[in-house]
Structure 1
Amino acid sequence: MPIAALLTALRLEYLAVRAHLTDIEKRVHPDYGTRAEVGRLPGTSWQVAVLEMGEGTRGAAALTERVMTWLAPQAVLFVGVAGGLKDDIDIGDVVIATKVYAIHGGKESADGFLDRTETWHAPHALESAARHALRGEPHVRFKPIAAGEVLLADADSPLAHRLRQRFNDAVAIEMEASGVAHAAHLAGGAGALIIRGISDKADVGKAQADTEGSQPHAAARAAEAAVAVLQELEPKDKPHPAPHHGPVPTASATLPPRPLGFTGRSAALSHLLTHLAPTPDGTPAPALLISAVTGMGGIGKTALAIEAAHRARSQGWFPGGTLFVDLRGYDDNPVTADQAVLALLDALGVRGTDLPKTSARQYDEYRERLSQHQPRTLLILDNASDPSQFLPLLPGTGDHRVLITSRDRPDALPLHIVDLETLSEADAAALVTTALSNDPRPSREPDALRELTALCGHLPLALQIAAAMLRRRRHRGIALLVAEIKKAGDPTVVLDNGSRGTDQYGRSLALRPVLETSYRRLPPAQARVLRLLALAPGADTSTEAVAALTALDADVATGLLDDLAAAGLVTPVPSGRDVRWRLHDLVRAFAVGRAGEKREEARERLLVFYGRWARAADARLRWLPGRPEPERFANRAQALAWLDGERAGLVAAAQWAFEERHARAATRLALCLGEYLLWRRYFDDGITVAGAAREAAHRVGDSATEAGASCDLGNALDEAGQTEEAIDAHTRARDLYQAVEDRHREAMAWNNLGLALREAGRVKEAIDAHTRARDLYQAVGDRQGEAMAWNNLGLALRGVGRVKEAIDAHTRARDLYQAVEDRHREGTAWNNLGIALRRMGRVHEAIEAYGTALEISREYEDWYGAGQTLYNLALAHEAADHPAEARTHYLQSAAAYTQADARTEAAEARSQAEALE
């Protein structure tokens, strides 16, 4: 169940809250011994944790942060009593704090005390829920309060005078709220809502009010308000995205190569092809046909699926082609369905700005493509370990076919299952004989061949490795290999669970002695490369990454990898001009177990390699004229190509930040990937990478790095449509940059926060945020940053109808971009200026602005930007009553969007053109 934390300072406040709960249990922090009681709130799906923290700001802050990291609550409410500061606030009223002033920060000078006040705003989601739940309640006020380390009991004291003078909108005062609010923000949650019942008037009558029972009454009213807020507030269906995801996979629209030496599966192949064949003409289309190939690891499931797909394609059964994705179901980080659908959409040509933001819309787009635009297609979902990986990926039409491979038999689903057993003795011998090709040994040593296949458990993977050993030693008999394998171990061990020949993961025990024998035969250099390659993150690894892992020259590494491929232990995967290298997961598990003490040094070398080139690629993506040229990558295309090829490994390696030894290097790597992952719209990877970096930085107390990771996380969340979470992340980044006094990056955080606020419809707050960003950028002399803030401020101003001010803002942005020679962003400012001018009715000026923006977009081959500007030009010509020119520009917009692979926008532009015919 989702959990909410109701924090209190006093015992009577604690009891007032606790009275609303049922099924209460005690929880004790395993390290610190902190006690909480957790119960259910009737009528809701909340669990509620109640803690009594004691009086004072420091203790409240410490315990709030501990609760946030221990219980990870979705909502935090600080509930209790306070003293009233205004005549119209009565004892028994409840104040929901819209702001909390920390009143004791400042500087004592010759001119008196100079306030340096921190202010904490109520979290939007919690305040909104409170306003809705408590509307119509005459004794509930939404007002600011003051918090300080003092008990105020005299309305004529110097502190009371200072409050009236400098915090005159505060209606109540208490001692703990600033600590709670500060800690809740820094802990990265949604913040804390402060709910205070007024128990006295903070004057000389306080003691009398206390003796008359005002505190229990006020505490009870505050507790009732807190319960109403939780009853209104819906808990999130699922928690914040966990950072422990593997990378988004790559789906292929082309089949992997046909398996070499495929043999012995004629009956299974025939059965599978029967279900892949199209429905005869005139026969009603059946419901969606799904086939599953199941069996233990290494038994040849993927080989059978690929062979069947090649034969079906040769018959012309799938004019829409094939879609292949490895779900890595038995790796440490299996691919989720949400990740797989991104890869499949990419293979279908839906990428970049054409990609829907939310998972629900991505699934809709995927099914629509298959049902309306894609001819009959074969979808191969390889290596699934759980139905949740593939069920959401099933097409919404029966015309397509789905083929799944898995070690687990999904009996609960209506599938056509081909359950593979090990090969027969004859087929196993045939596989080895075919793999040896014209070698006389199989016919010369039939008994030894029969014994070899038995030792391999008639398992195709083991047989292929054994055949590779024989190929490499052409003058040694099969019987010698049999003797070696026998020495390596007994494949007929009976497990505790009574199964014979496989372990609890469905992996053949017959493979181990074969792998052991093959490994022992390897020269030391090859064995070392195999051990270290097994440590590489991602499904496959580039040659230069292997060279980094092994500290070898790339040519030497390539030669050793070729030798391992000849031994059947490594699979080369052609990739453009290069070759990548893949291990079967059973071979990887075997090799990892032999990596030894040098494994962490190898991973450190890989992080250095990834870090250097990711940093250079990131610098190229952000490069502007006049800056130093980054190494290696001459242009954006080269940088993007390298990042695309290494993405899976980069994302997986960045998650080594969870390991203490690699935390700093992996975190630095993660911060180099934010811009790229946003550019390619890999938002899931962006959330994963930034989340890992933020957690690691927080763990070691590196506030500046934590702030940078929070910025990246907020950007990814915002693009993924998780706007409230993005606002939280950017708020945390801002607070951390303020804490370390980094005004430059604080400006960036304000700017990012403004974008998220505008996305959430909180435009007035966005204007304030962009204004703060602009002022800070001006103060530190960053003209490019100032231009960005002006441009975003213009967008927000236009959103509330302040168009004249928006024109001024976009003009300032344009001029500043020109001054720093940021030509691409100058084009963006011209386009936005044109929109504002058109809104003001200055159509001819707008057309001129669009013309300049279009020239710049074409100069940078930014076809999506060109499509936007051409569409805006068409709108401007329509406003000027030039229908022919408008139609021409709509058609040009459609062409530019098509070149940018933005099909939705292209279709809309064509529709607008057709309406003007």
Structure 2
Amino acid sequence: MTEQTVTDGGGFLGRRRELATLRADIEKAGLDTLAGRPAPRGRVLLVAGRPGSGRTALAERLAAALAGSGEYPDGVCHARLTDPGGAPVPTARTARELLAQLGAPAPAGGDDAELSDLLREALAERRAVLLLDDIATAEQLAELVPDNRDCLVLAVAAGPLTGVPDVRPCVLGGLERPLSIRLLARGGGPVRGTVDPGAADSLAELCADLPAALVLAAGWLTLHPEHTLADAVRGIAAGADHLPLHDSGPADPADLPLHRAFGLVYAALPTPAARLLRLLTLAPGGLVDAHVAAALAGCPIGLASTLLSDFSAFGLLRPLDEAPVAGAGPQYRVPGCLDPLLAALLRAQERPGEALLARARTLERTVRLLRACHAATEPSGSPARQWLSGLPRSLRFESRAAADRWLAARLPALFAAARVAVSDGELDTLARRLIAALTRALIAHRGPDEAAPELYQLHELVLGVATRLGLTREKAAALLNLGDLDARTGRLPQALTRYRAALEEARAEGDAADPLAVGRTLESIGGTYAELGDWQRAADWYGRAVALAQARDDLAVEARLHGRIGAVLAYDGQLDEALRAWRAAASAHRRRGDVQAHARSLTEAARVQEYAGQYEESERTGKEALRLAAGTGDRRLQAALRLRLADAAERLGHAERAAVHRAVAQTLLNAPRPVLERPVPEAESSAYPEGHAYETQTKHGDN
């Protein structure tokens, strides 16, 4: 959880000794070097301290200085390893986030080990700083340390990280007293400290010189310009009494200064502001903007924006460095040291139903924003753009570029919202709507290939909801989509497992099973076996899908599947069966009235006949296909058939006939296309469907 910083308009304050120590530790020889062994891993510097000690601010300050000095030209990559609420972040998610910052691709569905290895590969030739904040366990850190001595890891944790070799710790306590008083003066002004220096000293002592507590006390002084430092001392002494923790006392006496300072500020807030502050602990991922705050509190977005700005000035929120996005304003983070206090206040002062309603409002607004983000990609004048123009200005995107910037900036918070909604279990309908809206927006803005890693995570969330609710069809669809992504990234055994599970779920509905989903799953299993080179099993599964297509009287699917069977059987050397399959495909296309597809199927049949040594039959079949293709105007297909006939003529010893065919093919290929001719998509130009294109000539061309 990100700590309160020791920065404000006056800049970073203090910690010069700690910064110097950390810089010196970078240059010191490690234990491996002293032992005469080559250093196998990047240097790890640990900034340790209690919540509120300013440990994150110090690490950020050092990282920025190192990057700015040119020592680490590849910059700083920053990740938080603990979610709000204290749950450790999975290694795969952290590695994926760091890879994205490095501009390195990460495959969809990669596990912890795979993504950790990819991260190490990406850092192998770089000089970069990894700032890993709020580390929960040493194992988290060990998985992410690069195998490159030119990289530096700045680790931020509450205490020592045993088990990670050669870690250089820097333990933070409070600030020096003069610096504490200067920090208080930033809120209270120099006059109050000059008039009553004893009260300033007492206030700093009650804050234990902890930066977070001092920032909160300074915020209270900003909020109350009419009060003296002595008033702040009296108020902070009883500040913890305003918190619901005072019945049992804080878990650790060392937390009392921070609790008191927070209680002082919280007690001074107006009721609406205090309620919004409590509700901010429900913000997904601890990330807050005006939209999230307005939805949580059910207030106008302008009021929410003003309150967030005030909270930041009082030290209750931390503004993020990202540039504000049009329509959403700046983004803030709930400080990790305050998250437990806000959660306790929420439990004590808000009914569970009110908290649930606040979460529902937030999800509903997020869904509307995602729908608007998707609508911004639609053509001007379309129904989606008309719907977008009718939205309030705060929910509207003026252009696709604006929507794209919003989606990129808010993506971490959007995924956090989806994860929280799914794990919560009380708002499953909204969770499903949110995931669907986010999926559509990602595909519209990035395309299915670029968005594949994010889509994989969303399908996993859908699978979790569908499993919990017993939604068989949605579970089957999620498994099928995950299998497709696994197959696309080369994880064929995993894809096969997903497809088989999807088939089992689809068939579990019995007579109510969706035949289209079952057929698609059967075809996907066949395609995966084909990719694995198991041609006979591929043909068997394609055959099952053919039977289902015939039962539905779906000639298009039947024809496609017969073609796939012909392709894999040709690969397997079963040429007679392959020829029958291609003729069945041609017959189905003929019944459909698709002349081009009919001609292509006959072309493939002629190819198989040639492989089988049936040269005269191949020539006759090729001529039949050419006759059909001539009526379609498809010159590419006619040229391919002419070349096929040329090969057959040469096999039969008719060199002159072969030369004529080749000359005509060359003329067809060189002739300019008519403007009105429909271009043939790449997937249509081959008889083998996209995704499972098996070029039989490669294997059998020498037969």
Tell me how far apart the structure 1 counterparts of residues 509 and 434 of structure 2 sit (CA, whole Å): 20
Q: How many residues align?
A: 577
**Aligned residue in 2 for 1:591:** 342
Change (3 A) 1:806 1:640: farther
1:343 counterpart (70, 74, 97)? 97
Which letter does structure 2 place at the counterpart of 1:464? V
Tell me how far apart the structure 1 counterparts of residues 239 and 247 of structure 2 sit (CA, whole Å): 18
1:609 counterpart (342, 365, 369)? 365
**Aligned residue in 2 for 1:581:** 332
**Aligned residue in 2 for 1:646:** 410
Query: Does the aligned pair in 1 maintain the 2:109–2:453 contact within 8 Å?
Result: no
Query: Does the aligned pair in 1 maintain the 2:47–2:170 contact within 8 Å?
Result: yes
**Aligned residue in 1 for 2:158:** 407
Query: Does the aligned pair in 2 maintain the 1:380–1:404 contact within 8 Å?
Result: yes
Structure 1 portions without partners, runs of 5+: 1-248, 503-507, 820-829, 861-868, 877-917
Tell me how far apart the structure 2 counterparts of residues 744 and 723 of structure 1 sit (CA, whole Å): 19
1:664 counterpart (429, 436, 442)? 429
Determine what percentage of the aligned residue pairs are the same residue.
25
Which letter does structure 2 place at the counterpart of 1:603? R
**Greater helix percent: which structure?**
2
Change (3 A) 1:260 1:404: farther
Per the TM alignment, residue 332 of structure 1 is displaced from its structure 2 partner at its CA by 3.9
2:499 counterpart (720, 727, 749)? 727
Query: Does the aligned pair in 2 maintain the 1:710–1:732 contact within 8 Å?
Result: no
Per the TM alignment, residue 780 of structure 1 is displaced from its structure 2 partner at its CA by 7.4
Per the TM alignment, residue 599 of structure 1 is displaced from its structure 2 partner at its CA by 0.8
Which letter does structure 1 place at the counterpart of 2:124? S
Query: Does the aligned pair in 1 maintain the 2:476–2:503 contact within 8 Å?
Result: no
Query: Does the aligned pair in 2 maintain the 1:771–1:793 contact within 8 Å?
Result: yes
1:705 counterpart (460, 466, 474)? 474
Name the stretch that deviates more: 413-422 or 799-808: 799-808
Tell me how far apart the structure 1 counterparts of residues 145 and 14 of structure 2 sit (CA, whole Å): 30
Per the TM alignment, residue 763 of structure 1 is displaced from its structure 2 partner at its CA by 4.8
Per the TM alignment, residue 380 of structure 1 is displaced from its structure 2 partner at its CA by 1.3
Tell me how far apart the structure 2 counterparts of residues 367 and 476 of structure 1 sit (CA, whole Å): 55
Tell me how far apart the structure 2 counterparts of residues 781 and 594 of structure 1 sit (CA, whole Å): 63
Per the TM alignment, residue 704 of structure 1 is displaced from its structure 2 partner at its CA by 3.0
Change (3 A) 1:367 1:694: closer
Instruction: Provide, for residues 697-750 of structure 1, a one-character-per-residue CA deviation record: whole Å limited to 9, x for no partner.
Output: 344343333333333443455456333432343223432465533334444444
Structure 2 portions without partners, runs of 5+: 389-396, 598-633, 648-661, 682-689, 698-703
Does the residue aligned with 1:383 lie in a helix, a strand or coil? Answer: strand
Which letter does structure 1 place at the counterpart of 2:474? T
1:275 counterpart (25, 29, 33)? 25
Query: Does the aligned pair in 2 maintain the 1:750–1:773 contact within 8 Å?
Result: yes
Per the TM alignment, residue 300 of structure 1 is displaced from its structure 2 partner at its CA by 0.7
**Aligned residue in 1 for 2:118:** 365
Tell me how far apart the structure 2 counterparts of residues 710 and 783 of structure 1 sit (CA, whole Å): 27
Does the residue aligned with 2:208 lie in a helix, a strand or coil? Answer: coil
Which letter does structure 2 place at the counterpart of 1:366? L
Tell me how far apart the structure 2 counterparts of residues 473 and 674 of structure 1 sit (CA, whole Å): 47
Change (3 A) 1:267 1:647: same
Per the TM alignment, residue 546 of structure 1 is displaced from its structure 2 partner at its CA by 2.9
**Aligned residue in 2 for 1:308:** 62
Instruction: Provide, for residues 449-487 of structure 1, a one-character-per-residue CA deviation record: whole Å limited to 9, x for no partner.
Output: 122112222211111111122123223211112222222
Which letter does structure 2 place at the counterpart of 1:427? L
Per the TM alignment, residue 268 of structure 1 is displaced from its structure 2 partner at its CA by 0.9
TM-score, normalising length: structure 2: 0.68
**Aligned residue in 2 for 1:290:** 44
Tell me how far apart the structure 1 counterparts of residues 553 and 373 of structure 2 sit (CA, whole Å): 26
**Aligned residue in 2 for 1:743:** 515
Per the TM alignment, residue 555 of structure 1 is displaced from its structure 2 partner at its CA by 2.5
**Greater strand percent: which structure?**
1
Tell me how far apart the structure 2 counterparts of residues 781 and 404 of structure 1 sit (CA, whole Å): 63
Instruction: Provide, for residues 861-914 of structure 1, a one-character-per-residue CA deviation record: whole Å limited to 9, x for no partner.
Output: xxxxxxxx9xx9xxx9xxxxxxxxxxxxxxxxxxxxxxxxxxxxxxxxxxxxxx
Per the TM alignment, residue 417 of structure 1 is displaced from its structure 2 partner at its CA by 0.5
Query: Does the aligned pair in 1 maintain the 2:549–2:555 contact within 8 Å?
Result: yes
TM-score, normalising length: structure 1: 0.53
Which letter does structure 2 place at the counterpart of 1:478? L
Which letter does structure 2 place at the counterpart of 1:663? D
Q: Does 1:476 align with 2:241?
A: no
**Aligned residue in 2 for 1:384:** 135
Change (3 A) 1:423 1:787: farther
Q: Does 1:541 align with 2:288?
A: yes
Query: Does the aligned pair in 2 maintain the 1:671–1:708 contact within 8 Å?
Result: no
Q: Does 1:456 align with 2:236?
A: no
What does 1:803-822 correspond to in 2, within 5 Å? Answer: none
Per the TM alignment, residue 583 of structure 1 is displaced from its structure 2 partner at its CA by 0.6
1:431 counterpart (179, 183, 186)? 183
Name the stretch that deviates more: 623-632 or 450-459: 623-632
Tell me how far apart the structure 2 counterparts of residues 348 and 775 of structure 1 sit (CA, whole Å): 49
Which letter does structure 1 place at the counterpart of 2:432? T
Tell me how far apart the structure 2 counterparts of residues 398 and 749 of structure 1 sit (CA, whole Å): 48
Q: Does 1:393 align with 2:152?
A: no
**Aligned residue in 2 for 1:563:** 310
Per the TM alignment, residue 624 of structure 1 is displaced from its structure 2 partner at its CA by 11
**Aligned residue in 2 for 1:108:** none
Which letter does structure 1 place at the counterpart of 2:356? E
Change (3 A) 1:775 1:290: same
Query: Does the aligned pair in 2 maintain the 1:543–1:581 contact within 8 Å?
Result: no
What does 1:479-518 correspond to in 2, within 5 Å? Answer: 479-489=230-240, 501-502=253-254, 508-518=255-265
Per the TM alignment, residue 625 of structure 1 is displaced from its structure 2 partner at its CA by 13
Per the TM alignment, residue 539 of structure 1 is displaced from its structure 2 partner at its CA by 4.0
